[in-house]
Structure 1
Amino acid sequence: MKDEQNLTTGSVSKKLIIFAFPLLAANLLQSFYSIVDMLVVGNIVGETGLAAISNASMISFIINSICIGVTMGGTVLAAQYKGAGDERGESETAGTLFSISLIASIFVTILGSLAYRPIFQALNVPAASMREACGYMKIICRGTVFVFGYNAVCSVMKGLGDSKSPLCFIAAAAAVNIVLDLILVGPLGMGTEGAAYATIFSQGISLLISIIYLKRRRFIFDFKLKHFTIRRDKLAAILKIGLPAAVQMVIVNISYLLVTGMLNNFGISVAAAAGIGLKVNSFAGMPCWAIGQAVTAMAGQNMGANDIERVKKTTRIGLRLNILITLIVVITVQMFARQIIMLFEPGSQEVIKDGVLYLRVCCGINSLIYAAMYTFDSFAIGVGSANIAMINALLDAAIVRLPVGCLLAFAAGIGPLGVYIGQAISPVLPAAAGLLYFRSGLWESKRLIRYTGDGEG
């Protein structure tokens, strides 16, 4: 395909930035239309709707994290085959990934549909928001197959070096989602359920557009039923990366879910404010995530090409870019924290106050440490050591965020601020562990494919 990039040659800085920019735009668009959900619901339904989406979003994040984690194995494997020049390996990787994504989406749909209500009850979702939260999640679970399908397609494309096409697909989804939000939540009076329908319909449109586009461009996989075949060796390699990556993301998102449950104990204003704060914090992290995804793809291709020095250079440059861009974003958020929160809930002074506090603590200097952590995690996944990122997620969530937040909020009586402090300091340990692994050199023989030096994997 014309848009595929060979990330094993040329200027590392230039290739990394050019590859990351469409990913950043796609991430921003995806985050933007989820924020539009909250903007529309907040201004039309009010704080009960915000609290409902805040809690439901936590489960949605877990579903998405399973999807992104599993399909990330496809990105890394496709990238290493691309670097090794093995087109058959690329095609078989795509077929295997699409097949297991379809199967996984069915299981996740069933599990999510059975689990969301008990989870909401365990999290003490405010009674005024329970019905809306359940209605939202019921609809979101039905669209899981679209999420898996879209991410599987985009994962392979990113591994092959094409970050531009996914941007076009997500742009179409964002446009559809925003229009439907405004129609379904507002004039049609469907409330939070309208926002959920807008989300899954837009994801389905995005998947359909991506398949049509790729078939016309003679993609390495033609989407014919007979080619949806699971290759055992490709499955093993994808799961070697995908399962730890999925576990990593699930751990992180479950920790945020439990944090949301802690904050629910302090009332609906705090719950709504934390939901807004998390959305804004996620939005602020988009540049970091885009560069991290670029590091993963670029490290993967260069591992496939057996160019260890270029992998190291990619990681160092990615780290510098992430810290610089994150610093700019943090300064902006801190300068306009109140105005940002007021976009979502201009009428509640309690929500505004609690939301500003969240941003002051959770989107500050700690974000620079998070940028380092995410860079090293992305590098580890790209070279085939996703288990390192999984361990770092445990350090982040289970060792620091949840215990510290719980102790400070309840045992020490600090309240919501204690939860925010636990979240703010959580990336310190995993960032240090990631740096040690990068410097150790233990990863240099971790490639997923056999390198022969003649272009065959």
Structure 2
Amino acid sequence: MNAALDIDKPEKTKRSKRTTDMTTGSPAKLLFYFAMPLFIGNILQQFYNLADTSLAGHLLGDTALAQIGATAALYSLITNVAFGLNNGFALFVSRNFGADNKIEMKRSVCWAVLLSVISTILLTTSFLVFRRPLLTLLQVPADTMDGALSYLTVILAGIPLTMAYNLESSLLRSIGNSVTPLIFLVFSSVLNVILDYLFMGPFSMGVRGAAIATVTSQGISAILGLFCILRGYPELRFGKQDMKVSIHFVFEMFWTGLSMALMSAIYNIGSVILQGSINALGNVYIAAQVGGRRLAEFFYTPGIALGTSAATFASQNYGAHKNSRIKKGIFAAITMYGVWWVLAMICTFTIARSILVLITGSSDNTVISNGLMYLKISIPMIPPMAVLVIVRNALQGMCHSVAPLLCSALEMIGKIIFAVFLVPVYGYVAVCVCEPVTWVVCFLFIMGATLIFRADFRDPDKL
């Protein structure tokens, strides 16, 4: 009798307690609890990025700092492409989770894995083959080239591990679990800092050691993540029968992943080109950008957490045909970012100089002053960026991929204009002004797109 009753229960009652159904309950509360582990995880991510920079500066000097910094934009491009692809694939899982469609959900997981493997092979091969021309294109100074190439080669060889970890985290987040990826990130961050110190210090491996530390820590986390999913999440397991889908299904999933990857890639291509113009200014400005950018990225962390949360929230509710909840979620996410922005402003105009000295390990006043100028121009302009990031991700979750992609293209065009025409004339000041200007332009664009799609923020039965 009990077994029969269990079979008749709705699927939602059988879901693991470690998943979160975001189609019911307070949007603000759901987003807060979902975004908080992501936020903490991003803080930790920034922490060990800062640890890389700080340990390199303190243990190896300004030259090593410039060698790592010269490849920073390219490394961000790679990691953001991986993040975008896997998040895009996982949106299908999230949408079917919200719609309570177990069969389509398993098919989505299956093809998310297959498409991620294919993408990994293409990305790793392409970047390894063209790594030297890419550094030449970035105008890496001659005295920095060998160290930068050594660091980058190891990072590129580790792309499969980066992709695996990102895919596992994306799949877990798609079913409302943002805590488990945080646990693995905590482990990875601590291990990375320890290995950084050992490889760049006692083992005397130079900047190559920093790259090996990063790849090793990500690889171990990827292995642990796979074990966790196979053992504890039947929702994410699939069989051979789940490969049987239509070509249209595969194409739509690939396009969604590609559009999110392109959204990140186009933005980062602009950053890579801008990095080239910074590299042309010399090692002092490279080091200043490393310090200022690392601290700025710490202040940008809610954007990643809340943007990812908004995409998952929108995707689940879109699948459940509860579109009106998406608008409430967007407002809640923007409000949360606003609170953090106030704290970021206080920090920028009080203790940021001291933090920059700690991050860079540099005693050069030119390095510190320029890094501080970057912060004082960028951080006050976070509000339009916050709206841009959250709304853009929510639209992706609602199957609107073209407008966010065009928005990212605008960002790239803006950075190219600054890199080619303004930085050579106005120097590092133009670098500092570049992103705030592009944020405002893209904010206006995405709000216009939202106005066009305003009907999608109403429940289908009320149209």
Which whole-Å CA distance do the structure 2 matches of 1:446 and 1:108 have between them? 39
For structure 1, list consecutive stretches of 5 or more residues without a partner in the other structure: 453-457
Query: Residue 292 of structure 2 is aligned with which of 251, 274, 277?
Result: 277
| C-alpha displacement of 1:359 | 1.4
**1:238-317 correspondence to structure 2 within 5 Å:** 238-317=253-332
Aligned residue in 2 for 1:139: 154
For residue 79 of structure 2, what is the amino acid of its counterpart? N
Aligned residue in 1 for 2:421: 407
Which whole-Å CA distance do the structure 2 matches of 1:165 and 1:154 have between them? 8
Return the TM-score normalized by structure 1: 0.92
Aligned residue in 2 for 1:417: 429
Aligned residue in 2 for 1:192: 207
For residue 357 of structure 1, what is the amino acid of its counterpart? M
Which whole-Å CA distance do the structure 2 matches of 1:357 and 1:441 have between them? 38
Aligned residue in 2 for 1:455: none
Query: Residue 154 of structure 1 is aligned with which of 148, 162, 169?
Result: 169
1:378 aligns with 2:390: no
Query: Residue 361 of structure 2 is aligned with which of 310, 323, 345?
Result: 345
Q: Deviations over 1:136-186 (max 9, x none)?
A: 111011111111111111111111111111101111111211110010011
Change (3 A) 1:144 1:227: farther
For residue 275 of structure 1, what is the amino acid of its counterpart? V
| C-alpha displacement of 1:242 | 1.2
Is the contact made by 2:74 and 2:272 (CA closer than 8 Å) also made in structure 1?
Answer: yes
Secondary structure at the counterpart of residue 427 of structure 1: helix
Which whole-Å CA distance do the structure 1 matches of 2:287 and 2:256 have between them? 35
Farther off after superposition, 132-141 or 91-100? 91-100
| C-alpha displacement of 1:31 | 2.0
Is the contact made by 2:139 and 2:279 (CA closer than 8 Å) also made in structure 1?
Answer: yes
| C-alpha displacement of 1:395 | 1.4
Change (3 A) 1:369 1:104: same
**1:92-131 correspondence to structure 2 within 5 Å:** 92-131=107-146
For structure 2, list consecutive stretches of 5 or more residues without a partner in the other structure: 1-15
For residue 408 of structure 2, what is the amino acid of its counterpart? A
Q: Deviations over 1:329-363 (max 9, x none)?
A: 23322322211210122322221122112212222
Which whole-Å CA distance do the structure 1 matches of 2:152 and 2:445 have between them? 36
Secondary structure at the counterpart of residue 51 of structure 1: helix
Farther off after superposition, 61-70 or 230-239? 230-239
| C-alpha displacement of 1:443 | 6.7
For residue 113 of structure 2, what is the amino acid of its counterpart? F
| C-alpha displacement of 1:61 | 1.2
Change (3 A) 1:64 1:228: farther
Which whole-Å CA distance do the structure 1 matches of 2:327 and 2:52 have between them? 40
Q: CA-atom RMSD, angstroms? A: 2.1
Secondary structure at the counterpart of residue 170 of structure 1: helix
| C-alpha displacement of 1:311 | 1.1
For residue 358 of structure 1, what is the amino acid of its counterpart? Y
Which whole-Å CA distance do the structure 1 matches of 2:96 and 2:73 have between them? 35
| C-alpha displacement of 1:397 | 2.3
1:31 aligns with 2:46: yes
Secondary structure at the counterpart of residue 161 of structure 1: coil
Which whole-Å CA distance do the structure 1 matches of 2:351 and 2:251 have between them? 47
Aligned residue in 2 for 1:444: 456
| C-alpha displacement of 1:267 | 1.3
| C-alpha displacement of 1:300 | 0.5
| C-alpha displacement of 1:41 | 0.6
Change (3 A) 1:123 1:405: closer
Is the contact made by 1:24 and 1:287 (CA closer than 8 Å) also made in structure 2?
Answer: yes
Change (3 A) 1:47 1:230: farther
1:320 aligns with 2:335: yes
Aligned residue in 2 for 1:75: 90
Is the contact made by 1:269 and 1:354 (CA closer than 8 Å) also made in structure 2?
Answer: no
1:426 aligns with 2:442: no
Q: Deviations over 1:389-445 (max 9, x none)?
A: 1111111220x23314543333xx321102221222111121112222223335729
Change (3 A) 1:157 1:131: same
Which whole-Å CA distance do the structure 2 matches of 1:316 and 1:290 have between them? 15
Which whole-Å CA distance do the structure 1 matches of 2:109 and 2:201 have between them? 41
| C-alpha displacement of 1:237 | 2.8
For residue 336 of structure 1, what is the amino acid of its counterpart? I
Farther off after superposition, 15-24 or 148-157? 148-157
| C-alpha displacement of 1:204 | 0.6
Is the contact made by 1:92 and 1:234 (CA closer than 8 Å) also made in structure 2?
Answer: no
1:62 aligns with 2:74: no
Which whole-Å CA distance do the structure 1 matches of 2:241 and 2:56 have between them? 42
For residue 224 of structure 2, what is the amino acid of its counterpart? I
Change (3 A) 1:335 1:179: same
Return the TM-score normalized by structure 2: 0.91
For residue 255 of structure 1, what is the amino acid of its counterpart? G
Which whole-Å CA distance do the structure 1 matches of 2:454 and 2:378 have between them? 33
Aligned residue in 2 for 1:361: 377
For residue 334 of structure 1, what is the amino acid of its counterpart? F
Change (3 A) 1:218 1:293: closer
Farther off after superposition, 169-178 or 299-308? 169-178
Q: Deviations over 1:280-315 (max 9, x none)?
A: 211211112211111110011000000111111111
| C-alpha displacement of 1:247 | 1.0
